[in-house]
């Protein structure tokens, strides 16, 4: 793994954070408009390292939205009650209840399961930006699994077997017309690099054309393959970190490694629209 740092127009691009991905860019002020050459450097770092960390930021939700919009069209979050206007700018992700108290939540679709963002949409987001506003004293980490590396490590017969398969993704495991559903290739081609990656996660409900039990067994085995420690980068958050990642070749999950009933964890999220998986 590389250990050297490079400089881009006064910014410092650090060495890779892990063999699975991740890089830090120091000296960036994302609250201000960025010139084209720096945006290109960010895009290049994302394609090479999949996770890009900008430490030490101080961002309003509007400023975060503007940064995400400089990389592509931003998806509007779903309005929630009185927060309709502000949720049009960024989505608040937290462990707080309606009264602002910390609470432990768990469900089959919760963020502490391995997933990629919104695969149950016909056109899932390409990129996610997540900004740390308030964190527990320890823990609350996020893990990223490199599904391109995981695919490349599969035996050739397995790669041939899964090449034509398509996955049914649902917003929830429960069936019903209210849950968004989409069908995408199990083996996804990155539209910019051409690299192949597994496309799966906790929203994957089955494989088209396979018996339910067989589909779930295959998805479980491939998820186990993709989330081996050698394919995972763990980000340990600091307040002011903005982390962006590539949903087209990564899974991620939030670690519940803190007391969620005592400590607050608040982050702001913006999603950049992608293209239909192929």
Q: What is the largest CA-CA distance in the chain?
A: 56
Catalytic residue IDs = 115, 117, 252, 269
Q: Tokens in use for 171?
A: 């917003």
Q: Could you identify the residue written with the tokens 């998820």? A: 223
The shares of helix, strand and coil residues in the chain, as percent rounded to the nearest 5, are 20, 30, 50
Measure the CA–CA gap between 53 and 157, rounded to whole angstroms: 36
Q: Is the dihedral of CA 265, 270, 276, 278 positive or negative?
A: negative
CA-wise closest residue to 254 among 267, 263, 240, 241: 267
């Amino acid at each position: 793994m590389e250990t050297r740092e490079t400089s881009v127009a006064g910014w410092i691009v650090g060495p890779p954070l892990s063999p699975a991905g991740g890089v830090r860019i120091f000296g960036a002020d994302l609250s201000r408009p960025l010139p084209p050459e720096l945006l290109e450097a960010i895009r290049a770092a994302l394609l090479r390292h999949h996770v890009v960390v900008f430490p030490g930021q101080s961002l309003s939700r509007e400023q975060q939205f503007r940064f995400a919009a400089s990389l592509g069209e931003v998806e509007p979050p779903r309005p929630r009650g009185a927060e309709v206007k502000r949720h049009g700018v960024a989505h608040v992700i937290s462990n707080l209840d309606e009264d602002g108290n910390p609470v432990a939540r768990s469900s089959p679709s919760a963020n502490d399961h391995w997933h990629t963002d919104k695969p149950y949409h016909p056109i899932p987001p390409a990129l996610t930006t997540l900004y740390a506003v308030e964190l527990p004293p320890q823990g609350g980490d996020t893990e990223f699994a490199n599904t391109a590396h995981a695919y490349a490590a599969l035996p050739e017969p397995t790669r041939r077997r899964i090449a034509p398969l398509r996955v049914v993704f649902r917003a929830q495991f429960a069936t019903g017309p209210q849950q968004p559903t989409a069908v995408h290739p199990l083996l996804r081609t990155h539209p910019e690099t051409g690299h192949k990656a597994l496309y799966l996660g906790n929203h994957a409900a089955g494989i088209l054309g396979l018996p339910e039990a067989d589909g779930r067994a295959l998805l479980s085995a491939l998820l186990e393959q993709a989330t081996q420690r050698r394919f995972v980068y763990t980000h340990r958050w600091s307040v002011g970190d903005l982390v962006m990642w590539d949903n087209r070749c990564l899974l991620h999950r939030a670690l519940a490694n803190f007391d969620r009933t005592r400590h607050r964890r608040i982050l702001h999220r913006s999603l950049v629209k992608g293209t239909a998986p192929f």
